[in-house]
Every structure is written in C-alpha cells, then in structure tokens.
C-alpha cells in the first residue's frame, strides 16, 4: 500500500486564539497537513475543546491550553505546556487579537490598552518565547493581521523575514493580512454598526480613515 506523508508530519504548531473563527480554521488546516496542534484560548474553553475533538476525531493530535498572551507569565506557561506535551515547537501562528468599536469620545485608556496589549504586546511576547523553544532545524512564525490592523502591521514582531536578525538564520517570519472573512467577529461588527447610536456621518468618517490607513500600510 502506498502512503503519502503529509508535509507537516512531525511538526508542532501553536495557534494563539485558536478556539474559534480564523484561528480554529488555521488549527484544523495545520492538523490536516499532519502537524500536532496546540490550540490556545483565553476564555473559550468550550470552543477550544471542540476544535481539539474535531482534530482528534480525524486521527490528528491536538491539545488545548488556556493562556492570555498579553500576560508574560501566561505566555511562558503556554509554551512550557506545549513543549511538555509535544516535545518540540516548529510553528507559531500569532492569531489572537481583538478590535472593539466605540465612538471616539467613548474610547478610554483602558479600552486602548486592552486592544494594544493583546494585538501588539501579545504578538511580541509570544514570538520572543517561541524563539527560546525553536530547534536548529528551522521554524516559522506567521502573524495573522488584517487590512484594518494598522498598529499591528507597523510594530508587529517578525513582520517580514528581513527584519529578523542574524540569530534567526533558518527561521521564517511573515504577516498574512486577511480581507473580509465570515467569523464571529465580523457578525459582532455588523451588529454593532447597525446600532442606532452610530450616526451616518460617523460611519462615513470611519470609512475614509480606514481607506487612508490601508493605503499607508500597503505602501509603508
């Protein structure tokens, strides 16, 4: 009988924010390609367990690990549990992220730091920790961004392979910016946009700013 080895057989991947939406789809795809997958979640244990069960049901290997990647201690524990269970680490997918819409006058320092700490600091902390665990045979960091994630695009760790120093020889990094994707986040966004307290003028302003921001990032 002829068997074809999958291209990620023997590899181990961590997917942050892997309990639902884009993260869940990435985790399942990596498993389909043969990787053992660590499904990270912050609060949705049920979702993470569901992803793990689906992967296991197809004969794959996966575990769920709770950790808030905006917290250094949690990140350290995430990678420690991952390597303890799987023995190594080859791929990190920085997918965890949030974006909460609010009128300008309602944005607070707490609101800002909640998003920045997860979307930017979390990416940096996870990438730094991954570097400690990657082996000498090569590795990959994939940052999941979006056309709207301006700050994350500009300061995200390992945004492009040429930004990695010489100690990263044999290691790859890059950012994938998704367009409109059917997900729980998109549904919440659409529901939020339909609220009566969102003025038409406000929406027009946001669209214009978004367009300028995308142009700036694309031509950075």
81-130 pLDDT, tens digit per residue, is 999 999 999 999 999 988 777 788 888 999 889 889 999 999 999 999 99
pLDDT at 144: 85
Q: Which of 67-76, 138-147, 162-171 has the lowest mean pLDDT?
A: 162-171
Rounded (5°) CA angle 138-144-149: 140
Mean pLDDT on 44-55: 97
Give the C-alpha separation, 220 to 144, whole Å: 18
Q: What is the pLDDT of residues 7-49, one digit of tens each?
A: 999 999 999 999 999 999 999 999 999 999 999 999 999 999 9
The CATH label, of 2.40.340.10, 3.40.190.10, 3.40.1190.20, 3.40.50.720, for the domain at 12-218 is 3.40.50.720
Task: Classify residue 109 by burial, with Cβ atoms within 10 Å: 0-12, 13-18, 19+.
Answer: exposed
Q: To the nearest 5 percent, what fractions of the chain are helix, strand and coil?
A: 50, 15, 35
Reported as a pLDDT band with limits 50, 70 and 90, residue 204 is very low
pLDDT at 193 over 90: no
Closest CA to 89 of 78, 103, 97, 74: 78
Q: What is the pTM of this model?
A: 0.72
What single-letter DSSP state applies at residue 166?
A: G
Tokens standing for residue 69: 């990647």
Residue for token digits 């994938």? Answer: 176
Would you place residue 147 in the very low, low, confident or very high pLDDT band (cuts 50, 70, 90)? low
CA-based torsion, 97, 100, 105, 108: positive or negative: negative
What's the pLDDT at 194? 56
Side by side, which strands form the sheet with 62-66? 62-66, 36-41, 12-15, 91-94, 139-146, 171-178
């Amino acid at each position: 009988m002829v068997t074809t080895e999958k291209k990620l057989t023997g590899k181990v991947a961590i997917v942050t924010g892997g309990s639902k939406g884009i993260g869940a789809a990435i985790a399942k795809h990596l498993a389909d390609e043969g990787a053992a997958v660590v499904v990270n979640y912050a609060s949705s244990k049920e979702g993470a367990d569901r992803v793990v069960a689906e992967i296991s049901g197809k004969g794959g290997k996966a575990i769920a690990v709770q950790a808030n990647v905006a917290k250094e201690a949690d990140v350290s524990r995430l990678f420690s549990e991952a390597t303890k269970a799987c023995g190594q680490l080859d791929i990190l997918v920085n997918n965890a992220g949030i974006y909460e819409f609010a009128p300008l006058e309602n944005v607070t320092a707490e609101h800002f730091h909640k998003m920045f700490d997860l979307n930017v600091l979390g990416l940096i902390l996870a990438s730094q920790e991954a570097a400690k665990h990657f082996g000498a045979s090569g590795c990959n960091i994939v940052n999941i961004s979006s056309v709207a994630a301006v700050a994350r695009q500009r300061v995200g760790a390992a945004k492009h392979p040429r930004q990695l120093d010489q100690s990263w020889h044999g290691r790859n990094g890059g950012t994938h910016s998704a367009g409109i994707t059917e997900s729980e986040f998109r549904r919440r966004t659409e529901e939020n946009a339909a609220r009566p307290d969102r003025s038409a003028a406000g929406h027009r302003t946001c669209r214009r700013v978004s367009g300028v921001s995308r142009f700036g990032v694309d031509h950075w």
